[in-house]
């Protein structure tokens, strides 16, 4: 039997190079809301497909009534939760981490880089990250979203590769592709 790595989503609250402690904690809350709303229990397995293959067990903080009232916008909550899952997957499956938020209109959400690596040239050895979340959808919808996001990143194609991460919360699963 294979040993499946455990991920504590609350650790997002420790921050990342481009994610403050408070924003990381916010993403962890969104993840907890999406997973519990879909009826998942602590330790639910998330399967990763696409150019990466993996399975992780997810753990999150206890949901409160205040959190439910705060995260009442399902679309926004799903988007934020997808960011949280994507950031963890990137850190666990690649040598990269989130180093800077992208600006609107670029066709992607964040810049990835190697943590602690000081490059003399800005954005040398960097990767674009585009993320999308689906609260509940079948394989066809997930694959369609991946295709849509690959197309969206064409606006910034050129020197830098891109990772596209689509997170689906009802199974849960994620497609993670490199472009």
Q: How confident is the model at residue 158 (pLDDT cuts 50, 70, 90)?
A: confident
Residue-wise pLDDT tens digits, 44-68: 999 999 999 999 999 999 999 999 9
* Domain regions of the chain by residue span: 5-178
Q: How confident is the model at residue 114 (pLDDT cuts 50, 70, 90)?
A: confident
User: Which of 66, 131, 52 is closest to 95 using CA atoms?
Assistant: 52
Q: Strands 54-59 and 5-8: what pairing?
A: parallel
Residue identified by tokens 């993840």 is: 31
Q: How confident is the model at residue 153 (pLDDT cuts 50, 70, 90)?
A: confident
Q: How confident is the model at residue 124 (pLDDT cuts 50, 70, 90)?
A: low
The whole-number pLDDT of residue 119 equals 53
Q: What is the DSSP letter of 131?
A: E
* Per-chain mean pLDDT for the chain: 91
Q: How confident is the model at residue 129 (pLDDT cuts 50, 70, 90)?
A: very high
C-alpha torsion angle, residues 16, 19, 21, 23 (rounded to 10): -150
Q: What is the mean pLDDT of residues 69-77?
A: 96
Q: Any alpha helices (H) in 38-153, and if so which ranges?
A: 65-70, 74-93, 139-152
Phi, psi (rounded to 5 degrees) for 13: -70, -5
């Amino acid at each position: 039997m294979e040993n499946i790595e455990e991920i504590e989503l609350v650790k997002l609250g420790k921050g990342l190079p481009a994610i403050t402690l408070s924003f990381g904690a916010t993403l962890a809350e969104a993840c907890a809301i999406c997973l519990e709303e879909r009826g998942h229990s602590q330790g639910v397995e998330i399967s990763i497909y696409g150019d990466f293959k993996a399975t992780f067990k997810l753990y999150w903080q206890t949901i409160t009534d205040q959190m439910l009232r705060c995260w009442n916008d399902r679309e926004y909550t799903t988007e934020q939760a997808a960011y949280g899952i994507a950031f963890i997957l990137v850190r666990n499956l690649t040598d990269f981490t989130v180093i800077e938020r992208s600006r609107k209109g670029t066709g992607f959400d964040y810049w990835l880089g190697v943590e602690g690596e000081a490059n003399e040239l800005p954005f040398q050895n960097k990767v674009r990250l585009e993320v999308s979340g689906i609260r509940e959808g079948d394989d066809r919808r997930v694959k369609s979203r991946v295709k849509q996001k690959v197309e969206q990143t064409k606006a910034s194609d050129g020197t830098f590769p891109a990772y596209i991460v689509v997170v689906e919360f009802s199974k849960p699963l994620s497609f993670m592709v490199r472009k």
